[in-house]
Chain A
Amino acid sequence: MIGIAPAPPGYLPRSELDRLIAILRDEGRTVIGPIARDGAIVYDEVTSTSDLPAGWTDDQAPGRYRLSQTGSPRLFDFTVGPQGWKRYTQPPRVPTGTAVREDGSVRFEAAVPDPPRLAFLGVRACEIAAMLVQDRALAAGPFVDDDYRARRAAALVIAVQCTRAGSTCFCTSMGTGPEVTEGHDLVLTELDDGFLVEVGSQEGARLMQTLETDPALDTHRAAAAAGVASARATMAGQGVAAEGLPARLMDRLDSPRWIEVADRCLACANCTMVCPTCFCTSVGAVSDLDGMVSTTERHWDSCFNGDFAKVAGGNFRPRRQDRYRQWLTHKFATWHDQFGTSGCVGCGRCITWCPVGIDVREELAAIAPPYEAQLPPVARPPSLDNLVPLPLISVPPNVLAPAEREVDTIVAAVVGVGSETIDTFTLRLEPRDHAILDVSPGQFVMVHQPGFSPIPISVSRVADGLLWLTIRAAGPATQALVRVEPGAEVGLRGPLGEGWPLERAMGRDVVIVAGGIGLAPLRPVIDELLRRPEQFGSVLLAYGARTPQDRLYTGELDTWRRAGLEVSEIVDRAGAEWLGQVGVVTQLLDRRDWRSRDAVAFLCGPERMMTATVSALRTAGITRRRIFVSLERHMDCGIGICGHCQMGPFFVCRDGPVFSVSELGDLFGREGI
């Protein structure tokens, strides 16, 4: 409990639990609690204690879940069922806004969350921990899932402390239970004839007063403590060696075990669906036949799905082993980098509900066993029985604070469309709201056409109040975009992402290496360098394209040369009329020497081209700390919430798309990341 005077615990006979439910309902809340249905304990509306699963208990094992009736009067004698409270805080389908096309113009309206007032009855410690973890992912900023935040705020949490644990439970080793220590309004511990009731918040204190519980006796407190202790004791030895796990796991990206587990894994996504912290979604467009009224909708998705990491040029995680590795390393390792906590709360659902019984505890032990040699020779690891619960990293009090930046979709009119190559076009757009023109070189916008899911496009220039977007017509959405008539309107959101760090290049030589359409996000850098050339040293643009006809901005290349840039071009192949270089872009860097010059490099192009270029630049004397690359990943939201664009610990949309090669480490250019 943080910041409130501790109230003494109360005691509520079991027969009186109905009064609590009634109070909550009278206050206008729907009570969601456990019910036994279809062979499992699920969370649904509860109107009285007769709805609760009296006497039901669960038996869980990898790939197996069975309920059985014991005849006991206990109402909470089970652990966790297939789905947690995520169903109510981050529902499977959430409309995020509408786009309406009318009389040639478009209108975008963000959905206004209007969540029902709920009371969650029977929330376990691991589930509270999961909510706090999701709070960090979805509501801690800089961008916030408004719907999630509103639903969290509209739900009371009445926790229940576990007095038994299942064989797949391991909250003790993740430091999330079984004791409920924070995040609750009230917490109940079931005893033989009733409940120990303890307060966790102001709201809880108020409820307890209204409830008028009896004072708790020492026997009640002792029985409660004993119950929780027995749950803890059950979990001894069935956990995960959590300490130091992130580093060990990231050290084993090449373990053969990934291939072995992929042999068993169905990539069916059940583990991610039942996991209470998984938050990945996809954005779909639900529209009428004509696309005049279209709703964008976020629905549950999973990194195990084939298309999750797909981009126009291919798929970054095509194999099952890539995806399993992504899930496990994200959950247990890179989650720490992103959110300061583990993604796993030890609830064991992924183990039970995996159709083929893959047990993450077993996989982790096989892939990343503890380094025995590193343990001090005399100290022996304390038994899990005696572990004091690891405190949750304290959540900042303003974790549910308003977003720092608005991300509304604004309307922009297409003023002109010019063709750069046979399949690449530049749109010039005039936004109604000029704030979006404050673009740093390297940033991008999400472009929203009614009837389509939004897509990310780099900004290739800002000039005269217009935003220029260079687009390759690679799929239906981009094809539709380049076919718009001047005057047509589209939606834009942004500018988003971290751009090129021009301040690092001041006073230095600048090497710009672009491949294909990669010149588009680099053009704003050139624009900026030419605006204030006195602040930079010499500038080289090395540009590689497929053929001479596939080069972008051919009209400007000479202009840039005349302005003092060294512009070198090379193509993969050409006809006899081309008198320029033919080969690969790294050849333009041959026999250059930037050693003892603090040069800075900006790269954009296919990843393979960028990795080859990094090698060539390092040979030529530019360190990785001063080489910056712009990465491409699948993006559905552009604001770090849908989870698609993750690459190791990074959200490419939010931490990038520009990164220094040194911060990317050996994940850059690696297969299946």
Chain B
Amino acid sequence: MSPQEANRPRVGVVKLASCDGCQLTLLDLEDQLLPIAQRFELVEFPEATSRRSAGPYDVLLVEGSVSTPQQAEEIVHLRSRTQLLVTIGACATAGGIQALRNWADEPSWRAAVYPTPEYVGSLATSTPVSEHVQVDAELRGCPIDPGQLLELLTALRIGRRPQLSGESVCLECKRRGNVCVLVAGGQPCMGPLTQAGCGAICPAYGRACYACFGPREQANTESLHRWFGQERELIQVDRLFAGFNAWAPPFREPAGRAVAAAHPGEGADAPDR
């Protein structure tokens, strides 16, 4: 091994409760994969290599939300063995779609789904990694954007701050030349509230943004909620927030109402933790 290779940062990629899509984004960087592997030592990445390592890690990419007692313990151990912990994807940054159960009566749902629910060890809530340990950086999205992942790795290598803007999807739409599906199409597009990073891919195909990158800084959810509510029923507007980032604080209240409406009798308030 050359000295250059020996000095590569040790990178781990792990998952908690998730679909794996965000990890696969790293593999989707096809052309860049070899240069990345030459510059970063992938010591733990079960999707891609049989090589295993329990740490220490210079960089750990964590996908998935904390959904089981084992994961709650594991993330603490991982944090203690990691220099830089980066959460990737809506599950890890906001709790994911599975966080819809946070408002529900989890044991009764479990019993409804599984024949022997006592075999399933599940927490009442699905929560983002940041509610358990200190997170150093995050990549939003469902899944994350390959370009942003590459920017993160490049920034790590060069030592610059990663250029990940908290601007709205609207800027990406306008730079791309998309016609606004909200203003011209009347669709309930979440773009103005959503953090950019995807390149405004959905509106580019005439489909309203559904906020898979989660709320941006200072997202003014009340204002857009009011605007959408002028021509729609409250429940329809609330449902827009009950997606992959439902548990993110700016979206939580309308998301909770949407869940409550779907499951009358179960509280719309966030459970005590």
Contact A291 B158 (CB under 8 A): yes
Asked if B167 is an interface residue, CB under 8 A from chain A, the answer is yes
Using an 8 Å CB-CB cutoff, how does the interface string of A546-558 with B read, 1 for contact, 0 for none? Answer: 0000000000000
- Interface 9-mer from A5-13, A59-67, A137-145: A59-67
Q: Return chain A residues, CB-CB under 8 Å to B176.
A: 92
Residue from B36, B160, B222 in contact with A480 in the complex, judged by beta carbons closer than 8 Å: B160
Asked if A211 is an interface residue, CB under 8 A from chain B, the answer is no
Asked if A226 is an interface residue, CB under 8 A from chain B, the answer is no
Asked if B192 is an interface residue, CB under 8 A from chain A, the answer is yes
Q: Return chain A residues, CB-CB under 8 Å to B226.
A: 356
Q: Return chain A residues, CB-CB under 8 Å to B227.
A: 63, 355-357
Q: A63-B227, A355-B182 are in contact. Are A320 and B220 (CB under 8 A)?
A: yes
Contact B177 A87 (CB under 8 A): yes
Q: Count how many chain B residues have C-beta atoms less than 8 Å from C-beta atoms of the other chain.
A: 46
Using an 8 Å CB-CB cutoff, how does the interface string of A51-87 with B read, 1 for contact, 0 for none? Answer: 0000000000001111100000000000001110001
Contact A477 B161 (CB under 8 A): yes
Q: How far is the CA of A621 from the CA of B171 in the complex (A)?
A: 50
Q: Return chain A residues, CB-CB under 8 Å to B222.
A: 263
Closest chain A residue to B217 by CB distance? Answer: A306
- Which of B182, B186, B224 has its CB near the most chain A CB atoms (within 10 A)? B182
Asked if A269 is an interface residue, CB under 8 A from chain B, the answer is yes
Q: A82-B180, A291-B154, A300-B174 are in contact. Are A38 and B206 (CB under 8 A)?
A: yes
Contact A266 B192 (CB under 8 A): yes
Closest chain B residue to A274 by CB distance? Answer: B174
Residue from A66, A67, A299, A307 in contact with B175 in the complex, judged by beta carbons closer than 8 Å: A299
Q: How far is the CA of A89 from the CA of B39 in the complex (A)?
A: 40
Contact B170 A268 (CB under 8 A): yes
Q: Return chain B residues, CB-CB under 8 Å to A263.
A: 220, 222-223
Residue from B167, B177, B189, B220 in contact with A269 in the complex, judged by beta carbons closer than 8 Å: B167
Closest chain A residue to B153 by CB distance? Answer: A289
Asked if B23 is an interface residue, CB under 8 A from chain A, the answer is no
Asked if B245 is an interface residue, CB under 8 A from chain A, the answer is no
Q: Return chain B residues, CB-CB under 8 Å to A64.
A: 183, 186
Q: Return chain A residues, CB-CB under 8 Å to B178.
A: 38
Contact A65 B184 (CB under 8 A): yes
Asked if B218 is an interface residue, CB under 8 A from chain A, the answer is yes
Asked if A270 is an interface residue, CB under 8 A from chain B, the answer is yes
- Least CB distance, B83 to chain A, in whole angstroms: 15
Q: Return chain B residues, CB-CB under 8 Å to A384.
A: none
Residue from B155, B180, B191, B193 in contact with A353 in the complex, judged by beta carbons closer than 8 Å: B180
Closest chain A residue to B189 by CB distance? Answer: A355
Q: Return chain A residues, CB-CB under 8 Å to B185.
A: 38-39
Q: Return chain B residues, CB-CB under 8 Å to A39.
A: 179, 184-185
Residue from A40, A83, A352 in contact with B174 in the complex, judged by beta carbons closer than 8 Å: A83
Asked if A389 is an interface residue, CB under 8 A from chain B, the answer is no
Contact A268 B166 (CB under 8 A): no
Using an 8 Å CB-CB cutoff, how does the interface string of B22-41 with A read, 1 for contact, 0 for none? Answer: 00000000001001100100
Q: Return chain A residues, CB-CB under 8 Å to B32.
A: 289
Asked if A502 is an interface residue, CB under 8 A from chain B, the answer is no
Q: How far is the CA of A268 from the CA of B221 in the complex (A)?
A: 12
Contact residues, B181-209 vs A (CB, 8 A) = 182-186, 189, 191-193, 206
Q: A269-B167, A300-B175, A353-B180 are in contact. Are A290 and B39 (CB under 8 A)?
A: yes
- Least CB distance, A525 to chain B, in whole angstroms: 32
Contact A82 B179 (CB under 8 A): yes
Asked if B263 is an interface residue, CB under 8 A from chain A, the answer is no
Q: Return chain B residues, CB-CB under 8 Å to A336.
A: none
- Least CB distance, B153 to chain A, in whole angstroms: 7
Q: How far is the CA of A356 from the CA of B220 in the complex (A)?
A: 11
Contact A353 B192 (CB under 8 A): no
Q: How far is the CA of A355 from the CA of B159 in the complex (A)?
A: 38
Asked if B132 is an interface residue, CB under 8 A from chain A, the answer is no
Q: Return chain B residues, CB-CB under 8 Å to A37.
A: 179
Q: Return chain A residues, CB-CB under 8 Å to B171.
A: 269, 273, 300-302, 305
Asked if A314 is an interface residue, CB under 8 A from chain B, the answer is no
Contact A307 B161 (CB under 8 A): no
Q: Return chain B residues, CB-CB under 8 Å to A93.
A: 175
Contact B220 A40 (CB under 8 A): no
Residue from A266, A288, A305 in contact with B223 in the complex, judged by beta carbons closer than 8 Å: A266
Asked if A344 is an interface residue, CB under 8 A from chain B, the answer is no
Residue from B168, B179, B193, B223 in contact with A42 in the complex, judged by beta carbons closer than 8 Å: B179
Asked if B157 is an interface residue, CB under 8 A from chain A, the answer is yes
Q: Return chain B residues, CB-CB under 8 Å to A269.
A: 167-168, 170-171, 174
Contact B160 A476 (CB under 8 A): yes
Q: Return chain B residues, CB-CB under 8 Å to A181.
A: none
Asked if B116 is an interface residue, CB under 8 A from chain A, the answer is no
Using an 8 Å CB-CB cutoff, how does the interface string of B130-173 with A read, 1 for contact, 0 for none? Answer: 00000000000000000000100111011111010111101100
Q: Return chain B residues, CB-CB under 8 Å to A320.
A: 218, 220
Closest chain B residue to A452 by CB distance? Answer: B160
Using an 8 Å CB-CB cutoff, how does the interface string of A444-478 with B read, 1 for contact, 0 for none? Answer: 00000001110000000000000000000001110
- Least CB distance, B23 to chain A, in whole angstroms: 19
Using an 8 Å CB-CB cutoff, how does the interface string of A79-118 with B read, 1 for contact, 0 for none? Answer: 0011100010000110000000000000000000000000
Q: How far is the CA of A452 from the CA of B166 in the complex (A)?
A: 19
- Least CB distance, B175 to chain A, in whole angstroms: 4
Q: How far is the CA of A306 from the CA of B219 in the complex (A)?
A: 11
Contact B160 A285 (CB under 8 A): yes
Contact B160 A290 (CB under 8 A): no
Q: A263-B223, A477-B161 are in contact. Are A92 and B170 (CB under 8 A)?
A: no
Q: Return chain A residues, CB-CB under 8 Å to B161.
A: 475-477
Q: How far is the CA of A305 from the CA of B166 in the complex (A)?
A: 8
Closest chain B residue to A44 by CB distance? Answer: B177
Of the A-B pairs whose beta carbons lie under 8 Å apart in the complex, a sample of 23, sorted by A's number, is A38-B185, A65-B183, A65-B184, A83-B174, A87-B177, A264-B223, A266-B220, A266-B223, A267-B218, A268-B191, A269-B171, A270-B180, A273-B171, A289-B153, A289-B154, A291-B158, A355-B191, A355-B192, A355-B227, A356-B226, A452-B160, A476-B159, A477-B161
Q: Which 9 pairs, one residue from A and one from B, show the smallest C-beta to C-beta distance?
A: A268-B192, A273-B174, A92-B175, A291-B158, A38-B179, A39-B184, A451-B158, A266-B192, A40-B179
**New A-B pairs, 15, CB < 8 Å, besides A274-B174, A306-B167:** A42-B177, A65-B180, A65-B183, A82-B179, A92-B174, A263-B220, A264-B220, A268-B170, A269-B168, A287-B158, A302-B171, A451-B160, A452-B158, A476-B161, A480-B160
